[in-house]
Structure 1
Amino acid sequence: MGQYDVIVAGGGPSGTAAAIAAARGGAKTLLIERYGFLGGMITNALVGPMQSFHSKDEQLVLGIAEEAIAKLVELGGSPGHVKDMVGFAPSVTPVDVEKLKYVLQQMCVDSGVELMLHTVVTGADVSEGRIGKLHVYNKSGPQTVQAPVVVDCTGDGDVIWQAGVPFLKGREKDGLAQPMTMMFRMGGVDLERVRAYMALHPDEFVLAEDWENCSHVGVSGFFSLVREARQSDELTIERDRVLLFELPAPGEVSVNMTRVIRYDATDGQALTQAEIVSRAQVMEAVGFLNKRIPGFENATLINCGTQIGVRESRRMQGVYTLTGEDVLAGRKFDDVIARGSYPIDIHSPDSGDLDATEMKSASSYDIPYRCLLNDTARNLIAAGRCISATHEALASARVSPTAMAIGEAAGTAAALAAVSGIEPRQLDIRLLQKKLIEQGCNLGLQPEGR
């Protein structure tokens, strides 16, 4: 049995940041990841570009996430943060996923994180309100690992579920979650031809002000071409637009067009069927793009995600639940550990619609530490998209830069608690905030507090 100070389950954006932060905080840290690489939805599902590190007024996400982007820029794997041509977010950050896999891996190795790849958590032993052992499985067979603090960054809240912590799924009225999407990458795209068409038909697109001067193409539109194809049954995907973004490599784009609705990402058979449906949709979408969309006449499919992209599954019922009202009002909390600014971006669970709601009175909102804690397994911290949030609030907080900021806070808290021999909820929030600020995180606080 492996003995650690902190165990992080899930090597996605939040989990990688959590593990790095915990190890740098002096904790002997294990990071468990089911694939052979890190990055989660960014790298295994091609979900990109990353958005957004910024609010309309400032850069909210710094710390480990910004360090990773800086290293990626040095490798030629990203142009850094650029203006969003669609105008949906203040900035987008295109990434080369293969180089990002390397950057995240090296940051973990250099920080002293012990990696356990190709490994899944199969169970959790809970006694007297604490997780004792985690059961894991890989090519070596079943094993157990143990730590005084466990961080669930699985996205789907697998450890939360296995530990018997209450959770919710989907929207309140019927439990349906946001649809899943199989992202895919295409090369050989004539992006100048795409820009030229947009300039001639601006009413066909959602565009930011001064979009012509954006360095990287972002497309949300071709509405009439999609509508015509759907009316003729040439395109059967429940989607009302073409959504794509330029990648760092010349002529390459990431396409977000497939939509698999009414499937539960935590149901094994449903997830299997979603993969089957989504890959069929990819082929249909590629045919449509080649035939109908200017600039795609000679474009080719490069690859699809290793797995389908999941927007929403289990959400822990924590000490505090972040609400849509908190997001829209730009609410501030005394126990802030991260901040978000992304719109409430709800892809309809039962149609092809997209509903985005911007915040009303502020450019950012706080995410409180209490959203990471629960009353059932007291040594378990949640991070990423399985934190305690409503369906509406998660539609904003789920994006990868915000997830990395939450993950860094979770890992920092885990190390502080483990090294001090206390439970995460006993941690002095001012100490945690001070530590995060010292690490370069932007909490909207002065060093002595708000």
Structure 2
Amino acid sequence: MVIDEQFDVVVAGGGPSGITAAIASARSGAKTLLIEKYGFLGGMATNALVGPLQTFHAGEKQIAKGIGEEVIQRLKQIGGTPGHVRDMIGFVPTVTPVDVEKLKYIYQEMAEESDVKLQLHTVVTGVELKEEGTLKALQLYNKSGHYKVQAKVFIDCTGDGDVVAMAGVPYEKGRPKDGLAQPMSMMFRMGKVNLEKVKEYMRNNPDDFVLAKDWDSFPMVAVSGFFSLVKKAKEEGRFTIDRDRVLLFELPTEGEVSVNMTRVIRYDATDGQALSKAEIISRRQVMEVVQFLQRDVPGFEEAILINCGTQIGVRESRRIIGEYVLTGEDVVTGRKFDDVIALGSYPIDIHAPDGDEINVIQMEPGTIYDIPYRSILNKEVPNLLVAGRCLSATHEALASARVTPTAMLVGQAAGTAAAIAVHEEQLPRNISIEKLQQSLRKQECYLTEKEIEES
């Protein structure tokens, strides 16, 4: 097995958290490698079409900035997003629709400009640990064969916590009572949708939808409803999926929508056979949903299926048991921490692991909670950080912290921390939290509500 060049920081996984981690690390002067299993970056947002991104705001305040906001502004310049727009459903203050192909481009350009070395089409197959328990190298595989890379600090941004599991770091999966995780969903795009006809039906049948106040004045269509049409199709045996509503969002291209209606329950995304079965089931469900929309839903009579995600969307899999486990109570009460590295405000949004409901624990409007640095550290492998949905959180807390804007913030913090640890020749847990926070503020990341108000 050939040893590749030595890096300061190696990031596994090129999703939103991995991209921001790698960019932040490289911009901080660390020699950084980003490993991604697909031929493009973006994670769930691009390979699974999970969108729109939500939410960058808490009430009227924008809490998510930094590299994530830089991505949106650059995407906006090339017509890949209208930016942050008000949510017609009223579930969150704003949503951010994106053109995923342009998002792939912006991500790779920002990574390249920041001197991140990209290694695409590459998977992690194993780890090498030193006697004292630190991580020495990742074993990788791609078209060139098997090889390994060494680094001083590693960041697991695989989403599924693959490096964490290989390194022997304790983790949890799913909800406490039975280990079932939130269902997986195959997202897909449809075109030639008559959105004016959709809105006309909504105006005439408002009780059949979840709607924000003054929704009809909002610039982008979002639908959570058509409950009666779904119920009728179920009663007639034409709709068999564990979904109680039509859920879709308008995309930047005219007449195109992103549909989130498939639901594969009781399958484990970290089990190879289960994941394969979930993919098969989900694509069958896509065809059933498309037929339902075309037959039953006004505005979809002439609509066409454009594409499905490259892979099924995963909401939840492994979560590390870190130095601190973020709780649902922390989220809903807006708890503050001295070692805060990112802010969150998305509601606790649990898609039932064994049914068709969406269970939401709403917070007071504008509630902002802290994510502590300890939630990306673990006690077993001291030079391994995490970011994204495998951070240390309960089943309930992850249902909020898993969303893309939050993942990008945590990734940026992880990458910055890794670079500081390299420069100071320290383990990540031993760096100055004040220095990390100061660096994040210089990168235009908010860490307190006072900073938001003063901006």
Shorter-chain TM band:
over 0.9
| 1:95 equivalenced with 2:98 (yes/no) | yes
Partners of 1:285 and 1:428 lie apart in 2 by 52
Partners of 1:358 and 1:341 lie apart in 2 by 10
> Which has the higher mean CA deviation after the structures are superposed, 320-329 or 356-365?
356-365
Give the superposition deviation at 1:352: 0.5
Q: Specify the code of the residue in structure 2 equivalent to 1:365.
A: Y
In structure 1, the residue matched to 2:224 is: 220
Counterpart pick for 2:47 among 44, 48, 71 = 44
Partners of 1:419 and 1:377 lie apart in 2 by 19
Equivalent residues of 2:25, 2:416 under 8 A apart = yes
CA RMSD of aligned residues (A): 1.1
Q: Specify the code of the residue in structure 2 equivalent to 1:15.
A: G
| 1:188 equivalenced with 2:204 (yes/no) | no
Give the superposition deviation at 1:81: 0.2
Equivalent residues of 1:329, 1:362 under 8 A apart = no
| 1:294 equivalenced with 2:306 (yes/no) | no
Q: 1:15 to 1:168 in 2, by over 3 A?
A: same
Q: 1:361 to 1:291 in 2, by over 3 A?
A: closer
**1:145-224 matches, cutoff 5 A:** 145-224=149-228
Equivalent residues of 1:328, 1:358 under 8 A apart = yes
Partners of 2:430 and 2:98 lie apart in 1 by 38
Equivalent residues of 2:135, 2:384 under 8 A apart = yes
Give the superposition deviation at 1:309: 0.0
Partners of 1:51 and 1:225 lie apart in 2 by 27
In structure 2, the residue matched to 1:83 is: 86
Equivalent residues of 1:204, 1:221 under 8 A apart = yes
In structure 2, the residue matched to 1:71 is: 74
Give the superposition deviation at 1:419: 1.5
In structure 1, the residue matched to 2:127 is: 124
> Which has the higher mean CA deviation after the structures are superposed, 258-267 or 1-10?
1-10
SS of residue matched to 1:61: coil
**1:407-422 matches, cutoff 5 A:** 407-422=411-426
Give the superposition deviation at 1:304: 0.1
| 1:308 equivalenced with 2:336 (yes/no) | no
In structure 1, the residue matched to 2:444 is: 440
1:399-421 C-alpha deviation (Å, 9 max, x unpaired) = 00100000000000001101211
Q: Specify the code of the residue in structure 2 equivalent to 1:20.
A: I
SS of residue matched to 1:77: coil
Q: 1:75 to 1:362 in 2, by over 3 A?
A: closer
1:316-344 C-alpha deviation (Å, 9 max, x unpaired) = 00000000000010000000000110000
Stretches of structure 2 that go unaligned for 5 or more consecutive residues are none
Q: Specify the code of the residue in structure 1 equivalent to 2:66.
A: G
Equivalent residues of 1:178, 1:346 under 8 A apart = yes
Percent of residue pairs bearing the same amino acid type: 65
1:203-236 C-alpha deviation (Å, 9 max, x unpaired) = 0000011101100000000000000001111000
1:339-381 C-alpha deviation (Å, 9 max, x unpaired) = 1100000000000010111124861100000000000000000
| 1:284 equivalenced with 2:288 (yes/no) | yes
| 1:108 equivalenced with 2:111 (yes/no) | yes
Q: Specify the code of the residue in structure 2 equivalent to 1:31.
A: L
SS of residue matched to 1:384: coil
In structure 2, the residue matched to 1:19 is: 22
List, as ranges, runs of 4+ consecutive aligned residues in structure 1 with deviation greater than 4 Å. Answer: none
SS of residue matched to 2:389: helix
SS of residue matched to 2:61: coil
Q: Specify the code of the residue in structure 2 equivalent to 1:304.
A: C
Partners of 1:190 and 1:339 lie apart in 2 by 38
Give the superposition deviation at 1:57: 3.7
Partners of 1:172 and 1:86 lie apart in 2 by 30
Partners of 1:281 and 1:362 lie apart in 2 by 36
**1:395-406 matches, cutoff 5 A:** 395-406=399-410
Partners of 1:282 and 1:79 lie apart in 2 by 27
SS of residue matched to 2:58: coil
1:275-321 C-alpha deviation (Å, 9 max, x unpaired) = 00000000000000000000000000000000000000000000000
Partners of 1:395 and 1:31 lie apart in 2 by 26
Give the superposition deviation at 1:94: 0.2
In structure 2, the residue matched to 1:249 is: 253
Give the superposition deviation at 1:446: 6.5
Equivalent residues of 1:330, 1:360 under 8 A apart = no
Equivalent residues of 1:57, 1:363 under 8 A apart = no
Counterpart pick for 1:258 among 252, 257, 262 = 262
Partners of 2:449 and 2:82 lie apart in 1 by 29
SS of residue matched to 1:440: coil
Give the superposition deviation at 1:129: 1.9
Tell me the TM-score normalized by structure 1: 0.98
| 1:330 equivalenced with 2:311 (yes/no) | no
SS of residue matched to 2:343: strand
Partners of 1:405 and 1:57 lie apart in 2 by 19
Q: Specify the code of the residue in structure 2 equivalent to 1:341.
A: S
Q: 1:236 to 1:132 in 2, by over 3 A?
A: same
1:83-134 C-alpha deviation (Å, 9 max, x unpaired) = 0000001100000000000000000000000000000011111221200111
Partners of 1:148 and 1:165 lie apart in 2 by 18
Partners of 1:325 and 1:20 lie apart in 2 by 32
Partners of 2:303 and 2:366 lie apart in 1 by 42
Partners of 1:242 and 1:164 lie apart in 2 by 41
Equivalent residues of 1:329, 1:361 under 8 A apart = no
Number of residue pairs aligned between Structure 1 and Structure 2: 448
SS of residue matched to 1:385: coil
Equivalent residues of 1:330, 1:362 under 8 A apart = no
Partners of 2:197 and 2:38 lie apart in 1 by 38
Equivalent residues of 2:191, 2:306 under 8 A apart = yes
SS of residue matched to 1:186: strand
Equivalent residues of 1:328, 1:361 under 8 A apart = no
SS of residue matched to 1:137: strand
Partners of 1:111 and 1:119 lie apart in 2 by 21
Partners of 1:8 and 1:133 lie apart in 2 by 12
Equivalent residues of 1:339, 1:366 under 8 A apart = yes
